[in-house]
A and B are shown apart, each in its own frame.
Chain A
Amino acid sequence: MSVFFKMNVSVTFIRPFARYLVPLTFPKKRNLYSAIMQRHMSSKIPAVSYPNKESTSPPEQLELDGWKTTMKSSVQEAVSTVPSSKDEDTVAATRELIEMWRLLGRNVPEHITEEELKTVMECTSKSAQRKYLKYLYIKENLKRAKLLKKEMKAAAKKEAQKANLFETTEENKEQNFLFLRFWDRHKNIAMGWKGAQAMQFGQPLVFDMSYSNYMKPKDLQNTVSQLLESEGCNRRDIDPFHIYFCNLEIGSAYHRELVRYYGEKWDKLLITATEKSYVDLFPKDNIIYLTADSPNVMTTYKHDKIYIVGSFVDKNIQSGVSLAKAKQLNLATERLPLDKYLQWSTGNKNLTLDQMTRILLCLKNTGNWEEALKFVPRRKHVGFLDISKHSEELLNRLKKAKTFNSFPKRTLSRQTQKSWYE
């Protein structure tokens, strides 16, 4: 280290000198510093003396090593930019590492809290660490973008208010209204009424909450947000289900997350949350467990049955968990007739909980499969199979000759798409 410093110092003393010497003593020599000097000294004069020497002069003529000196000499200034803490514990080291990754342009967050840093260090593998840091990076970016948007909106609103103040103060007073503006509150009250009615007379829809130990914390969070979404769309429906959260143990991760998301509202929700299992609440013969692994296809929606949806986001490949559960309890199972109605292309046949709820609600109200399966994400299928025109017999025949099954339909839809893309 000491040797290096000595060298460093000596070089730094000579170099700045050279800077001034070079353009003066050898005015013909075009190097980088002379160019800079020229620009500094006569910035108004356009650089007429553009060197067309690139063919004649060998590359050594360009001053290429100059930056090294400045880089080495600016030690103190540079260190201060890097957050440096004296204690050599790994926390600080990790923080520095993340900072260096950020300088390198990796996808890591700019600011990281102690807690997140702890999570980073607890990651078992490098790829887990990288994924988590990327997740934080994206989260940070989204947050920043949101904040920016909010500020812009606030500014725009202020502008608009200012403009409004001068124009329409008197007009408003003269208008006659039938209702006061309490739309949201009225809507909520009405939904509450409907919800209360559903609690009394509605068809039960059960969410089976017994999968918490099959999921990682993040999947569990996703599950809970899907449950929230499901409950929301059920509440808004014209004829809501009576929702049951079965096997929901108080104090479990599910329960904690739900209470955290709903807050005070949790106790006022018009649903039944219970620690009991659905087999205790309902007669076994009436229960139908919905799972994509089921061998039985759902043909019609039955209004006297109790449908169960497993609240389970299956990111790992654990096929057949819900089917195993139904098998264990000896329950009837069904899956949605996705292949019958849709030309499936990519993606898992497992749908999210809110999509499932919407499909069931739609079936309950209309009984129309085409209408209900519109809630299946568009990216997962190419289009609807036109089976209403064919007789059942024809469908069977097509099924046998598998290669021709729905072939003309597919080509048609592909072709129409093609014209869109090209």
Chain B
Amino acid sequence: MTCLAGIRSFLKLWKSKPYLGLGPGHSHPCLFLTDCGLRNQQRWFSLKTMSPQNTKAVNMLAAKGRLVKKRDEDGIKQISPPSLFAAGAAKKRSEMNPPNKDHTVLLQRENTPLPTKPLSSEEWDKLKEDYTGKGNFENWIGAQMSRNHSSVDVAKSLLAWVAAKNNGIVGYNLLVMYLHICVFHKQTSEVVDVYEIMKARYKSLEPGAYTLLIRGLIHSDRWREALQLLEDIKKVLTPSVRNYDDCIQGALLHQDVNMAWNLWEELLSCNLTPMLETLKAFFDFGKDIRDDHYSSKLLDILLYLRNNHLYPGESFAHSIKTWFESIPGKQWKGQFTTIQKSGQCSGCGNTVEPIHLSPEEYDFLKEKIMMDVIDGGNQYRKTTPQELKRFESFVESCPPFDIVIDGLNVAKMFPKARESQSLLEVVSLLAKQNLQLLVLGRKHMLKQSSRWRKDEMEKVQKQAYCFFADDISEDDPFLLYATMNSGNHCRFITNDLMRDHKACLPDAKTQRLFFKWQRGHQLAIKSVFPGSHIIFQHTVDYDTVVQTTGDSWHIPYDEALVERCSYEVPTKWLCLHRRT
């Protein structure tokens, strides 16, 4: 075990140093080169981490950086795809640092093989005798069968055997198991039979059985009884989104559009987040309907996606496209595209919405960050009132900043380099562009040590405004506040994803607002290896959200094969516009 762990960590060591020529990270220098070629479209700058010998080279590079800066307007628009928040980026990052332990889940082999054809009662008896596990044989085999989706006949023979042993009575759990198998194999007549039995034997059921019955019944002629079952669930619990999904699908299947919309309204009024399948079903059904009312409802769904920052999946995106294109007379044309860095749609050339917050939203977010992230009901938890006052008066006394730097995060970026040296490099690079800088740090950074050299810190203080918090205070809230306070143009540099601070915010809406602001204002350092160039990953200029201009729709969607984390946004778009 120890040996293995040792080898793994060794592997990790190798993989995390791509300049040795191994691992996926090796592509970094190449990436940088390709960026060079695209310089005109992608604005960026870079810097070689300084080592005393090649200061000349660095100066040259820095000069180059300035050149680039001159070409650009505000000088700090550097992009190197993919963005920190692009879909799949977290997966890639995690692949760069594989976890130490492989969680290989060994599937437990059953000692009794499951029957593949119906057995007679004698055969069941024999099987039961062979069974050596603990617990009830009938329950165990039932669970196994429903897990492995045995055929209906086998399950039925089991039930017949149990019933024969037990005066014709089959237990509730076996009945539900059988129902599960029937529903899985879409045996509607069997589902109806079981439904009759359950209705006869039990006054009420539990949500699991209700869910299965609803799912089974919607395909039959008695689909309206599924709605009755939904009512039964409501007596005690809130039905799940799946229940609503099934009922809506059933209603659409039987052309009862009003019922479907009613259920949709009900679902929303329960504060449930609908399944994307439900929405897709509405769009799929809409293809055959020529009805303005229905169309406007579908547009409402798209607005719902927008307001709740939901993104359709790939097949859903296809459904949306098909529906739009099926509208007669309007001549919608849809295509799957990407958005360029400038925020222009590659398909139609229109610019999508910028990521800037409206002034009201901005003020709201600022206040919330102050209230919930920094203060949080107890100012002593993250800082002290004295320190907060000191910081506020410090911020007041300074001009608005252009860039706020998380000193500790930047300094620890390069594990091989000295902390103060890395910080100084980043700061002096930015200072050369006449930007107002603020470096946030902790007091211990000022103490002379092997990692923090006093002379370098003094140079940092000459080139930037600095604020050093107490060693036991958190610096991130200060970072957020200083950036927000400086205004919309201000950016901050850190590789922290700020998820813990986002979690401090009270509701999902504020969190989405924070995320939007963060995407628009966070610069992350891309290269993590000493000796390579510092590439800032610039913010995107456009917001990734479902949007319309009346004549066009731009809908970001999730690709089927890309895994997206909650703090990432899709990169693919569906562009719809009307042919003129």
> What CA separation (Å) do A370 and B41 show in the bound complex?
64
B578 at the interface (CB under 8 A from A): no
**Nearest chain A CB to B207's CB is how many angstroms away?**
8
Interface string of A119-141 (1 = CB under 8 A from B): 00000001000000000000000
Residue of chain A at shortest CB distance from B232: A93
Q: Which residues of B contact A325 (CB under 8 A)?
A: 380
Q: Is B507 an interface residue, CB under 8 A from the partner?
A: no
Number of CB contacts from chain A to chain B under 8 A: 146
Q: Across the interface, do A90 and B235 meet the contact criterion of CB distance under 8 Å?
A: yes
| Contact status A100-B172, CB under 8 Å | yes
Task: Say yes or no for B193: interface residue by CB 8 A criterion.
Answer: yes
Taken together as a complex, chains A and B put the C-alpha atoms of A103 and B380 apart, in Å, by: 52
The answer to whether A74 and B139 touch across the interface, beta carbons within 8 angstroms, is: no
Which residue in A35, A324, A414 is a CB contact (below 8 Å) of B378? A324
Q: Is the CB of B200 within 8 A of A72?
A: yes
1/0 per residue A65-109: CB within 8 Å of B? 111111111110011001010001010011011001101110000
Which range contains the number of B residues in contact with the other chain?
A: 35 or more
Whether A93 contacts B235 by the Cβ 8 Å rule is yes
Q: Tell me the bound Cα distance from A121 to B208 in angstroms.
A: 18
Q: Is the C-beta of A179 less than 8 angstroms from some C-beta in chain B?
A: no
Could you tell me the distance between the alpha carbons of A123 and B118 in the complex, rounded to whole angstroms?
Answer: 44
Most-contacted residue by chain B among A71, A97, A295 (CB, 10 A)? A71
Q: Main SS of the interface on chain B?
A: helix
Scoring B residues 455 to 477 as 1 if CB is less than 8 Å from chain A, else 0, what string do you get? 00000000000000001100000
Q: Within the assembled complex, what's the spacing in Å between the Cα atoms of A11 and B178?
A: 22
Distance between Cα atoms of A327 and B157 in the complex (Å): 71
Question: Judging by beta carbons under 8 Å apart, are A78 and B202 in contact?
Answer: yes
Q: In the complex, which residue of chain B has the Cβ closest to the Cβ of A100?
A: B206
With beta carbons under 8 angstroms apart, the residue of A64, A78, A324 that contacts B381 is A324
Is there contact, CB below 8 Å, between A62 and B160? Answer: yes
Chain A CB within 8 A of B164 CB: yes
Judge whether A183 is part of the interface by a CB distance below 8 angstroms.
Answer: no
Task: Please state if A32 and B121 are interface contacts (CB–CB under 8 Å).
Answer: yes
Q: A175: which B residues are within 8 A, CB to CB?
A: none
Q: Which residues of A contact B270 (CB under 8 A)?
A: none
CB-defined contacts of B196 to chain A, threshold 8 Å = 4, 8, 72
Q: Out of A70, A97, A323, A418, which one reaches B168, CB within 8 Å?
A: A70
Decide: B168 and A126 in contact? CB cutoff 8 A.
no
Given contact pairs A103-B173, A104-B173, A320-B381, A66 touches B117 in the complex (Cβ within 8 A): no
- Bound together, the chains give a CA A321 to CA B153 distance in angstroms of 61
Residues of B within 8 A of A70 (CB): 163, 167-169
Q: Of residues 156 to 212 in B, which have CB atoms within 8 Å of A's CB atoms?
A: 156-157, 159-164, 167-173, 175-176, 193, 196-197, 199-209
User: Nearest 6 pairs between A and B by C-beta?
Assistant: A70-B168, A67-B163, A324-B380, A100-B206, A103-B172, A78-B201
Sample 30 A-B pairs with CB under 8 A, ordered by A number. A4-B199, A4-B200, A32-B160, A50-B122, A54-B117, A59-B117, A63-B160, A64-B153, A65-B160, A66-B160, A66-B168, A67-B164, A70-B167, A71-B163, A71-B170, A71-B201, A72-B201, A74-B168, A79-B201, A93-B236, A100-B204, A100-B206, A104-B206, A104-B208, A126-B237, A295-B471, A320-B381, A323-B381, A328-B380, A415-B2
